């Protein structure tokens, strides 16, 4: 993704192959090269789409942000009330936002 992209910019998504309609996605970790638990991204609980929560500055966060997302299925099947169906590790590369001039 380009640095300083506006809030709400999609950066990817996660999904379950055999999810029940009750499956939900949760962002449980967001670590940048500069620190842990950064408030940079949000995951849509039902679609799994990952978006920026605010503009991400490469100089502040570094080149790489690692997201940990879990999928939870609370349908009560398999004898458990809440089952963790998947753990996803998503790597987001933050690239320079280049400004080009037309010479004017």
Domains of the chain: 10-93 (2.60.40.60)
| Residue among 87, 90, 94, 89 nearest 33 (CA) | 94
Arithmetic mean of pLDDT, 36-40? 75
Rounded Cα–Cα distance for residues 40 and 53 (Å): 5
- Starting at the edge strand that comes first in sequence, how are the strands of the sheet with 10-13 ordered? 10-13, 49-52, 41-43
State yes or no: pLDDT of 57 exceeds 70.
Answer: yes
pLDDT at site 7: 94
Rounded Cα–Cα distance for residues 76 and 53 (Å): 32
Rounded Cα–Cα distance for residues 101 and 104 (Å): 7
pLDDT at site 77: 53
pLDDT band of residue 6 (cuts 50, 70, 90) is very high
Considering only residues 83 and 17, tell me which one the structure prediction assigns the higher pLDDT: 17
Indicate the pTM of the whole model: 0.78
Considering only residues 51 and 89, tell me which one the structure prediction assigns the higher pLDDT: 51
Rounded Cα–Cα distance for residues 5 and 54 (Å): 8
């Amino acid at each position: 993704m380009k640095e300083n992209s506006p809030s709400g910019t999609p950066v990817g998504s996660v999904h379950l192959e055999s999810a029940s309609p009750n499956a939900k996605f949760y962002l449980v970790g967001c670590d940048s090269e500069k620190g842990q638990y950064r408030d940079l991204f949000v995951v849509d609980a039902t679609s799994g789409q990952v978006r920026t929560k605010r503009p991400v500055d490469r100089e502040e966060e570094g080149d790489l942000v690692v997201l940990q997302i879990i999928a939870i299925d609370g349908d009560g099947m398999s004898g458990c009330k809440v089952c963790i169906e998947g753990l996803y590790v998503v790597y987001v590369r933050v690239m320079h936002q280049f400004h080009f001039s037309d010479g004017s």
